[in-house]
Structure 1
Amino acid sequence: MSIPLLEVRDLKKHFPVRTGLLQRVTAHVKAVDGVSFSLDQGETLGLVGESGCGKSTTGRAILRLLPVTSGEVMFQGKNLLAMHGEELRRARQQFQMVFQDPFASLDPRMTVSRIVGEPLEAHGLGSSKAERDDRVVHILEEVGLDPSVLNRYAFEFSGGQRQRIGIARALVLNPSLVVADEPVSALDVSIQAQVINLLAELREKLSLTYLFIAHDLSVVKHISDRVAVMYLGRIVETARTEELFSDPMHPYTQALLSAAPVPEPGKKGERIILGGDVPSPLNPPSGCTFHPRCFRAMDRCSREIPELMERKNGHFTACHLYD
């Protein structure tokens, strides 16, 4: 069997909390607390959950944009977290990120030509400026932008056009893996579908692999092959997209799907209302972190942390209900 393009093993990212005059570490915010999953070449995994559950931190930690507390990130069979210097710089050509906010992620003082061409210069790709310029023009056309925009500045464009520029910047190095961190959440609803369709087309055309981070379940359903649901720093359920949407097993997933709008409201099931607020990752509950809000909680849920186990073919759930 071929190895996965990306394999994340027990990834943890804890942020230290410093207090007092001497700024001693007194606690840790457990933003990501033992996340594991894999991605095959050409696959799209949707990573979903409420705000603050650790989705974006997971994506940034995987790409070494944040230092990792512990765990392994295997990319093409090699541990990214063990790489340094020139080895890491070369590996970075193979994975890129599309950021959430196209208004903040592009430098307003740089032209489109410089924004998209900068990664080529940073990695020393292209034998001449003319060759790099040709690559920039080609990738702009791939994302639906006319080469006439080359000498314009980012602030001159709409949100959807800016995100296309951000996608072009991520793809100019011809990466294998793209982490898309809520790439449409800052855009108007009328533009979101265009960008999602563009990402889907580029995946097929360029043989890309996506880790697609989002909180909008309808977006994830449209573009993802598999879905992983996060809650308070951990993955609580993962399955093929059709399987997860038709037969969610974890109570948290069931609640999320019950709150999602549907085209035919008459066919919608009963809404599941969760009690309380999301606990703080600074002081998470014992046992299953979802148990204080769970409508199916049992006594053991407050004592034992459930393991993410395969309950059906390819359907994994971390819940004591199925033990």
Structure 2
Amino acid sequence: MTTAATPPPLLSVRDLKVHFPVRRGLLQRQVGTVRAVDGVSFDVERGATLGLVGESGCGKSTTGRGILRLVPPTSGSVKIDGREILTLDPGALRKARREMQMIFQDPYASLNPRMTVHDLIAEPLSTHGLVSSRDEALREVARLMELVGLSPSYMRRYPHEFSGGQRQRIGIARALALKPKLVIADEPVSALDVSIQAQIVNLLASLQRELSLTYVFVAHDLAVVRHLSSEIAVMYLGRIVERARPDELFRSPQHPYTQALLSAIPIPDPDVERTRRRLPLVGEVPSPLNPPSGCHFHTRCPYTMDRCSAEAPPLEERRPGHWAACHLTELPTAPTHP
């Protein structure tokens, strides 16, 4: 229960589901349902970062898009600053979007190639009536470009004249134009060179401190989100299977899937890397069109038992602030990451 001393989280997600009907034939009859997100719940405190990680196809990007209603959620609740988002009419949703923005994964595809940098960044300002003149728009675009480390002298250039890292900075400036409280970063560094990834992560961290931003940082790489996140949630086939603070998660993973992900992260020490024990995953991720019964992970889990295929484990608090969805109360010792 929230008191005056403990303000509510900025973002509160409860039992969010995003299902897509699969239709075939001339009559487009529904033949199944893709359960892309299947009952996700979490809170993100003001000024904090939730890292949402997992393999491709686990539903993490769809979760972010469902929060912003860029894809229509099937059911659940999403509250930003205590305000329910999923029931807003289109007009109210348009106003609410000033408080929540997204940084997209691909800086090559997310920027209109026919628009200059000035027009790309100024568009949301004019759409929402935040600037009253061309001169005011010029000043605000220049301020935003400087904020993300770009020279305002570049504002008349087009996206193709910039590198991938510079284009992502333009996307970040555009997302910040409306001064949002919440930013969903959908794998913002996965399309960039490794040498540029750290620059963008450091930029997002400094902007968070400067502007008191709250992030949901979507990634498939645990190592990328470790230093930026206040908490990490691991997703598998539409569900959160583990959630904890980064140091706790890396030191003592409580779900076999998290153990496997951590064991796949390379360690920059040849002696340690050569002798460490791996926990390889067998087989492919099952289809969300026909997910396994019970625990979705049981078809690939090295510790599976009869109960796993019959009963889905609830996400339970194993220790303070550390949640896991696994029927085993104690996992065998497994490789972790320093």
TM-score (norm 2): 0.94
* 1:274 and 2:281 are equivalent in the alignment: yes
For residue 181 of structure 2, what is the aligned residue in structure 1?
Answer: 176
For residue 12 of structure 2, what is the aligned residue in structure 1?
Answer: 7
Which of 63, 67, 87 is the matching residue for 2:68? 63
Distance 1:155 1:65 in 2: 26
1:80 deviation in Å?
0.3
Distance 2:292 2:318 in 1: 24
Which of 90, 96, 99 is the matching residue for 1:85? 90
Which of 287, 293, 315 is the matching residue for 1:286? 293
Deviations 1:97-134 (A, max 9, x none): 00000000000100000001111111111232222221
Distance 1:57 1:192 in 2: 22
Distance 1:20 1:295 in 2: 40
- Root-mean-square deviation over aligned CA pairs: 1.0
For residue 220 of structure 2, what is the aligned residue in structure 1?
Answer: 215
Alignment of 1:112-191 (within 5 A): 112-191=117-196
For residue 34 of structure 1, what is the aligned residue in structure 2?
Answer: 39
Distance 2:261 2:53 in 1: 10
Counterpart code for 1:11 = L
* 1:19 and 2:40 are equivalent in the alignment: no
Deviations 1:19-44 (A, max 9, x none): 12210112101110001111010001
- Paired residue secondary structure (1:56): helix
Once the two structures are aligned, what percentage of the paired residues are identical?
64
- Paired residue secondary structure (1:293): coil
Counterpart code for 2:287 = S
For residue 108 of structure 1, what is the aligned residue in structure 2?
Answer: 113
- Paired residue secondary structure (2:165): helix
For residue 303 of structure 1, what is the aligned residue in structure 2?
Answer: 310
Counterpart code for 2:12 = E
* 1:232 and 2:237 are equivalent in the alignment: yes
Distance 2:290 2:94 in 1: 37
Distance 2:12 2:156 in 1: 40
Which of 256, 262, 266 is the matching residue for 1:257? 262
Distance 2:272 2:315 in 1: 31
Counterpart code for 1:298 = M
Deviations 1:75-97 (A, max 9, x none): 11011001113321211001100
- Paired residue secondary structure (1:230): strand
For residue 55 of structure 2, what is the aligned residue in structure 1?
Answer: 50
Distance 1:51 1:123 in 2: 35
1:256 deviation in Å?
0.3
1:265 deviation in Å?
4.0
Distance 2:52 2:299 in 1: 23
Distance 2:84 2:48 in 1: 20
- Paired residue secondary structure (1:35): strand
- Paired residue secondary structure (1:82): coil
Which of 324, 327, 334 is the matching residue for 1:317? 324
TM-score (norm 1): 0.98
Deviations 1:261-281 (A, max 9, x none): 112243353110111111000
